[in-house]
Structure 1
Amino acid sequence: MRETIDLLICPRWIIPVEPAGVTLENHALAVRHGKILAILPVDEARARYQPVSLVELAQHVLIPGLVNLHAHAAMNLFRGTADDLPLMRWLQEAIWPAESRHVCAEFVRDGTLLAAAEMLRGGVTTCNDMYFHPEAAAQAFASAGMRAVVGMVLMEFPTPWASDADDYLRKGLAARDQWRNHPCISFSIAPHAPYTVSDSSFQRARALADELELPIHVHIHETANEIRDSLAEHGMRPLARLAKLGVLGENLIGVHAVHLDHTDIELLAHHGCSVAHCPSSNMKLGSGMAPVTELLAAGIRVGLGSDGAASNNRIDIFQEMRHAALLAKVRTLDAAALPAHAALHMATLGGAQALGLDAQIGSLLPGKCADLCAVDLGSILTQPCFDPVSHLVYVAGREYVTHVWINGEPRVDKGLTLLQISDKQLLRIVSVWHTRFAN
């Protein structure tokens, strides 16, 4: 008698990511109670299991759900409003003034829901977010059925959301308390950047992160000006300052990490920090190219982030994989600098490890959550296919994602995002915000 399970997926290929470098052909993945039960040859799976749902994907590759290690999801509503500016002019002349006029809980909820739809359709199942009104962001991610780590933003100066560092932390912790028992929503401490956060606030962030066992999510070494300003104000580089303050540690995710010298890399490695590499945003803002190969060689965990749609202008981890691989080759003048398997690892298990979620997600192992993404490689535009991992990084884009599951539940089916709100309703919401911005 066959064993009853919830879901059996039979793709042409499975890329488990763990163990590294493996491609399985003509295997099936079995799901029960939201967890991966087994990966085994198709014939054996059909003989052993009686699935409630059987999904046949004859030309597809099945991979772990992608992890977006750094995003400002609500900023999808600012997409295309501030192009072709360097970081500080982009912030000071465009983004901060726009935020002061428009950001509220409704803005964050609507923008995050729009971003969640974009990410899900692009195979992203987990997002590490950083923005204001975390309670509204959590609501949107939960409505979309998406896994998210929501940042409790910390700054010194007032914004429409909070007045000072104490207010940011009080409101962030209240949001965490509200959502602390949700199975897919967790939180991080998110001090914005060294140039917006004081020494005492960084130390409070470290103490809270230790007490509550949360990640620290911070922009670091994004531009050359950031380094120069820190040397002028503090007499040391930003990472050295954070090391002196005791902020660096295994739960710290440093975002961008573009301008690093040998000592900076040694600090990150010594303290077990992780890096969120955002190649498209770094290129668009003219910030530079992160030394990814040196980070990986030093044993530093590296994941991929999109940043916000206002500085990218898309939340597309397939694009980040391709850009990461190509930029590494250009930067080092070495075509083997970042192979396709390494780029896929960064987009999946690397991000999960950085978040401390690798026991649950990031690879396809029995016992892990069934966060899955199926990509159709049967199109004439993806033929011939000799190596599906190569195609995932260098050929296929997010438009080839057809199915996404989170905890074994479908979130995208045959290319259609399954949200509690329809695309038509979402477009009406976006139209309202577009009109507000124009007036």
Structure 2
Amino acid sequence: MKRRQFVQSIGAGSALAGLGLMSGCATTGGSSAKVVVVGGGFGGATAAKYVRLFSNNSIDVTLIEPNAAFVSCPMSNLVVGGHSTMAEITTPYSNLSQRHGVKVVRDMVDSIDPVKRTVKLASGGELPYDRLILSPGIDFMPTLPGMAKAGAADKVLHAWKAGPQTVALRQQLEALPDGGTYAISIPLAPYRCPPGPYERACMVASYFKVAKPKSKVVIFDANDDITSKKGLFTKAWADHYAGMIEYRPKHKLVDVDAVTNTLKFEFNDDFKAGVANVLPDMRAGNIAVKTGLATANARWCEVDFLTFESKAQKNIHVLGDAIQIAPAMPKSGHMANAHGKTCAAAVVALLNGQEPLANPLYANTCYSFVTAKDVVHVASVHKYDAEKKTMVTVPGSGGLSSAASELEGAYAKAWARNIWADSLA
């Protein structure tokens, strides 16, 4: 199979039909079972939809999500660069309820009682569950004292949760005078979307190249080197943004002065930016930590990869960016979508007294825009290793783009449409 065909074949949705997840799942049993899903991102929305599908709509599914619509982190850097709009990356939750019978509750979760198997809502209500699927995404660790000061978080943005901060960061870039500097600070891995910060640097530079040609992009990376697609990004910077993007590795951020937009580093000189874009250290979402599920360095949730059941609490499954990842498994939207299907199949099987699939296999593709049209990708395939009890990459699978191209740009946009539909339509 040619590389281009392979990349297309592991796009959103195909990880389901060809990998055996549907086998033995459809059932008419479990009619009294209740599944509560917390978080309507790629993992949670997919899990909610597929529990209904795999159970022939016999299992009662409630999705708790505070937002009125899903806003995609993948493709949001295009909005930052001025090449897309928020409307184009936003999908309503209405299809989950209207087409699949998922009960969507717009609320936050205040607490979870694993013994009583109940979820307490911020509004005061309480929901019982037989199985709880938690897809809380990421939250940020309070390691930067300056960001705790009044008004700091409204000025020095992360925009790493697509939504209002995406728009606000775009507005900051528009207000920056020509000749000003945009600085992005990247935390030590693991963090959500390994290539995302480098893609963002490209998108900001693409805007500067047209509108503010005297401006610069400076990347401060706490890691020793670029964590994903190094050769492809460095080539894009040289080919398209020579003299405009500066990359500085081994710059661990220890504080921020939001009044002056000054970044302070552990061993390097302070840097004052026109626009400071700080990605703090990340961990599993607050509700997972509060429930005692973040057992890996108090940051990430350890799970059984056959079912995504928490190793800390029975009957609670954790998906997506919040988990302690397997080797070479990225924290990506595509991966969370695969988690959601695998978990949904396992939950339906368990609620019907069946064994979960013993050999799950799924794929990941991550596209990155290096210009408004040119895109590169990285792909991987992961299978369960029964001896190691974790997911491992399939030898010889996946790979990188040979070069950026507009054709891959078309693939990237098709991938986004497909995965949004697979998760939410």
* TM band (smaller chain): under 0.3
Q: Please report the TM-score for the alignment, with normalisation by the length of structure 1.
A: 0.25
Q: Please report the TM-score for the alignment, with normalisation by the length of structure 2.
A: 0.26
